Structure 1
Amino acid sequence: MDLPNHIKNIDNKSEKTVYVAMSGGVDSSTSAALLKQAGFHVVGCFMSVWQPPFLDCSMEAERQDAMDVAAQLGIDFRTVDLVEEYKNRVVDYMVSAYKSGRTPNPDVICNGQIKFGAFYEWAGNQGDMDYIATGHYARLRRETQNSKFKIKNSHLLQGVDEHKDQTYFLYRIGQKQLQDTLFPIGHLQKEEVRTLADELDVLVADKPDSQGLCFLGEVDMKDFLSQFIDLKSGNVCNEDGEVIGTHEGAEVYTIGQRRGFEVTKKEPSSGPWYVIDKNIQNNTITLTENNSPDGPVYNGKEITLTDTNWITSQPTAGRYKARIRYNQPLEKCKLKVKSQTPNQFGSGHEARVIFDKPLRAVASGQSCVVYDSEVCLGGGIIQELNSE
């Protein structure tokens, strides 16, 4: 199986050291196997992160799988202690966002702050790192600037498998990290990765894909947040402000949610009901039965982004496509970015995205990621939205 061009074009592979983030799953294990087969000096790395003491977690089993694959491949193996970094940068951020009424995406923060943040920094401090690699379904296109193929820019491209493309989670990566990163399987379909893993006799070839939060797996968000937030029951209101039921703590609900609350005042033909607003200060949520495209659930016509990150350069105002959640179809939009920029990539300041049609259930705190054809340009955190 051919490697992607950004790996194939690397000279003197046997002299290059690649630190591979290995989770114990088939994607990262196959990535390590491919790089080893290509001749790189590969070091398998398992990230040890904070685990909630109130939940049963499978980290040790995942670590054992990663270690077994490394032994099978005959590569060095390291366990990287990122417990403090994960708790401070991901968990605390997530809890703080929910407390303030926002809906964060911890997988976005995890990739930016942990895999391509703390792990990248750790690998760089080992003294022999040429690249890091992960099993993400994403691709790279290198832009060179002279005959010696010195990298000028690295463009982040969608994975070939549109159902597994993970560029939404990677939009906060910096240019420096991308230039030092390899994505060995982003040019493949998931089924091809499974077949390849089987052909390479990778130990975890048949292991099911992981689900849920980055590193933590399946988590009941209400149960998780209740360990950090004093959740209190409150009133559920309709669009007229009339109290029609109760909820279990306004912080745990997100826009568009249709379960987890009780509506006691309703007609026999009522429902389903959808969350369209929440007031953290008053501990209330507001519901509607109107789920039509011109109703209040479709609230995302214009959105303002803050804390933007543009991977290669600040895009010019114009027509693009964007999504506000993972695996959502890309939607046509206009993009406007403030002219004042804090760094060479135009990141950090506000941007405005105007969709051709309102999107459903947009919530502040989510990420909006912008694309120009197959290229992921970057994006930002949703701060404000307007349905008009």
Structure 2
Amino acid sequence: MQTVRRVVCAMSGGVDSSVAALLLRRRGYEVTGVFMNNWDAVDEHGVCSAERDCEDAYRVCKKLDIPFHQVSYVKEYWHEVFSYFLNEYEKGRTPNPDILCNKHIKFNHFLSYAIDILGADAIATGHYARTSLEDEEIFQQKYIKSPQNLFRNRFEIRHDAKLLQAADRIKDQTFFLSQISQYALRKTIFPLGELTKDFVKKIAAEAGFHHVLKRKESMGICFIGERNFENFILEYLEAQPGNFVSAEDGKIMGRHKGWFLFTLGQRARIGGQRDAWFVVDKDVTTGNVYVAPTTDHPALYRDLLRTDRMHWLSEDPPGELVKNKMMECHFRFQHQMALVPCVLTLNQDGTVWATLVKPIRALTPGQFAVFYKGEECLGSGKILRLGPSVYTLQQGQHRMKSDANLSTEAVKERDPVT
């Protein structure tokens, strides 16, 4: 007799997770829907958005005739994601809480709850991503969490899962999954991995999920949503006034309420300035936010970055990188940016230098550098250091030229041609 497989599906109340649950049901699995509440948020109309989302998720589960559970990770989210988020801003960096939410909440706390409490054989989410494992291989993975050592047991024979880009490359969400553990990856099904968003909407319409189709796509940082970022962050961090300083001539252009309100590449709204100025650098020690005119100023472009210790989805660095200490691959640091070819250099402490084939705009410390080889997402590391900007290099070249010219003039004066 065939074993009935239990799959616990994370439900957000949106169209993607609703269709994921429906597809799992059609595959004959015993499906349970779970809604996670990670943030106590009340919108400007005084309505708790999580309650509305939870109600939408519950209605889908009722329609599918599957059990529905609700769990709260508000405390865990605060300690493991939001505190980190504030701490990064205070250090002058720009964090990505969505990547950390997946790492700590969905693919750690929720995964443990699904397996330990609900007896799941696997979990599923509505992410647009694929893995190299078939469902049956996922169900057969042993429930043994990897020891948190630096290196895993070399004698352990294991079928590693690879994280692969979704068929719908525009909706692909492997970027957001680049910090999850190999163990979590081996226990997760992504039912939407082979589908396009348009087809998912079609399935939802045919299934009668009209209430989720009417919802707007969730935008913005998971807990801030579409609220005013400056007002939100100033509720948690004390204002730290400082100067806007021109990167070209050091002139003070205006005042700001805190360097943490700005990220590289964004427009700086400077009182009294009619022209557009853009943030090109920040100095936490002085509180200066450096700005330059024009959105494509050379001070915004760089081609070199260093990460912190890399998180490889396979747990170990790729064999080619270990063997050669260098490897060609592709890179992105924003979810929907085009992949950029780069060369990785592996450092002894597990960090990497990434040299990009061309300078790109607004590389940002605190964001995650996510690396790809073909359609496989290899993992990610937080950007900690940047190489010099194109503008800095240009200035250096100008100085060298003028120094060389001065030297030539000096030689001419000393040894005039007769």
The two structures have a TM-score, normalised by structure 2, of 0.81
The superposition leaves residues 22-61 of structure 1 with CA deviations (integer Å, 9 ceiling, x where unpaired) of: 0000000000011011111111000012225696541100
- CA change 1:386–1:143 in 2 (3 A) is farther
Q: Tell me, yes or no, if the aligned pair for 2:309 and 2:352 is still in contact at 8 Å.
A: no
**Where do 1:136-215 residues align within 5 Å?**
136-142=127-133, 152-203=159-210, 204-214=212-222
Which amino acid in the other structure matches residue 300 of structure 2? V
Given the superposition, is the C-alpha separation of residues 186 and 143 from structure 1 closer, same or farther in structure 2, using an over 3 Å criterion? closer
Query: Which consecutive unaligned segments of at least 5 residues does structure 2 have?
Result: 142-157, 390-418
- Counterpart selection for 1:279 from 279, 283, 286: 283
Aligned residue number for residue 39 of structure 1? 28
Please say which structure displays the higher CA radius of gyration: 2
Question: What is the correspondence of 1:318-357 to structure 2 with a 5 Å cutoff?
Answer: 318-339=327-348, 349-357=350-358
How is 1:2-41 mapped onto 2 (pairs within 5 angstroms)?
12=2, 15-41=4-30
Letter in 2 for 1:156: L
Give the superposition deviation at 1:208.
2.7
The Cα offsets for residues 306-341 of structure 1, whole Å up to 9 and x where unpaired, read as 13211124121211010011100000100112345x
How big is the shift at 1:355? 0.2
SS of residue matched to 1:142: coil
Q: Counterpart amino acid of 1:112?
A: K
Question: Does structure 2 retain, via aligned residues, the 8 Å contact 1:290–1:297?
Answer: no
**Pair 1:80 & 2:71 matched:** yes
Taking the aligned partners of 2:41 and 2:15, their CA distance within structure 1 comes to: 25
Query: How does 1:218-257 map onto structure 2 within 5 Å?
Result: 218-239=226-247, 240-257=249-266
CA drift of 1:200 comes to 2.2
Which residue in 2 is equivalent to 1:3? Answer: none
Report if aligned partners of 1:51, 1:216 keep a CA contact under 8 Å in 2.
no
Q: CA deviation at 1:153?
A: 1.1
Bigger mean CA offset, 353-362 vs 229-238: 229-238
**Which residue number corresponds to residue 58 of structure 1?**
49
Instruction: Tell me which residue corresponds to 2:404.
Output: none
The question of whether the paired residues in 2 share the 8 Å contact of 1:172 and 1:378 is answered with: yes
Cα offset, 1:384, TM superposition: 0.2
Partner residue of 1:296 out of 296, 299, 309 = 299
User: Which amino acid in 1 is paired with 2:368?
Assistant: S
Q: Give per-residue Cα distances to partners, 1:159-198, cap 9 Å, x unaligned.
A: 1112111111100011100110000001111001000111
- What is the CA-CA distance between 1:290 and the residue it aligns to? 4.8
**Aligned equivalents of 2:86, 2:367: Cα separation in 1:** 14
**Do structure 1's residue 386 and structure 2's residue 391 form an aligned pair?**
no
Which residue of 2 is the match for residue 95 of structure 1?
86
Residue aligned with 1:32, SS:
helix
Which AA in structure 2 matches 1:159? A
Count of residue pairs brought into register by the alignment: 360
What is the alpha-carbon distance in structure 1 between the residues aligned to residue 223 and residue 107 of structure 2?
14
- Check the 8 A contact 2:42/2:49 in 1, yes or no: no
- What letter is aligned with 1:134? T
SS at match of 2:267: coil
| Higher strand fraction (1 or 2) | 1
**RMSD value, Cα:** 2.3
| Other-structure match for 2:416 | none
Tell whether the 8 Å contact from 1:237 to 1:245 is kept in structure 2 after alignment.
yes
Q: Does structure 1 retain, via aligned residues, the 8 Å contact 2:41–2:50?
A: no
Alignment partners' CA distance in 2, 1:364 and 1:52: 28
Structure 1: gaps (5+ residues):
1-10, 341-348
- Relative to structure 1, the CA distance from residue 233 to residue 53 in structure 2 (aligned partners, 3 Å threshold; closer, same or farther) is farther
- Aligned AA for 1:271? D
Change (3 A) 1:77 1:216: farther
Query: 1:122/1:216 Cα in 2 relative to 1: closer, same or farther (>3 Å)?
Result: farther
Q: Which has the higher helix share?
A: 2
Per the normalisation by structure 1, the TM-score is 0.87
